[in-house]
Amino acid sequence: MRYLTIIYASIISGLAITSFNINAEPPSTDELRKALTPSPTPVPEHKTRGLPLSGVKTRGINVIESTEKATAQTEEPAAPPPPPSVQLQQISFEYNSDKLTHEARQTLDNLATVLKEPDLEKSRFKIIGHTDAMGGAEFNVSLSIRRAQSVMNYLINHHHIDANRLTIEGKGFSELADPAHPDSAANRRVQVTNLGQS
């Protein structure tokens, strides 16, 4: 397999997240499209239940009163699928910096191509920065925000993605991808979540 992809449902955030291994090549536009395109919403089936009629004659058919009381069938609507989200460890930065590496720009070039496609061009996206646990919490939150901002700026300035479609957030090391190894490079990543159409 060219890359390791992990899909899991996050209990805390309710997201379906696709992760691409840090050692993999930049994900292709096809991989990013699949990861960020919402699943089609299933059309609910409408079930009807005949209500018993009492002593009514219709065209020679005698409807006999039912001893069973009519009960309304209520079905809880299916929960909407979680928003698609992708974690990109290939979006890397220089040490303790928000400056994008060459590999990061390659990944963002593919991401920008996907964001301009007809199925996604009206969707809004949140860019979330994550860091490892080296250093203080306050520093890492600030660094993760600056890195998310750097990604957003690249998409806007180099690919003319509408700024109104993008928001940012910095999580620092509050949601480690590899809690057993808090200083692992796996924790230094950028997450992109499809927020749906505005």
Q: Which pLDDT belongs to residue 79?
A: 75
In a domain, 33, yes or no: yes
pLDDT digits (tens, 9 = 90+) for 37-54: 988 765 555 555 555 545
Using CA of residue 133, residue 102, residue 160, residue 32, what is the dihedral sign?
A: negative
Within-domain flag for 136 = yes
Per-residue pLDDT at 88? 93
Tell me if 128 is assigned to some domain: yes
Instruction: Report if residue 190 sits inside a domain.
Output: yes
Three-class DSSP category at 107:
helix
The CATH number of whichever domain residue 31 belongs to comes to 3.30.1330.60
pTM above 0.85, yes or no: no
Contacts of 180 (CB under 8 A, 6+ apart): none
- 119: containing domain: 5-38+80-197
Give pLDDT tens digits for 5-18. 433 334 334 556 77
Q: Categorize the per-residue pLDDT at 24 as very low, low, confident or very high, splitting at 50, 70 and 90.
A: low
Distance CA 47, CA 51 (A): 13
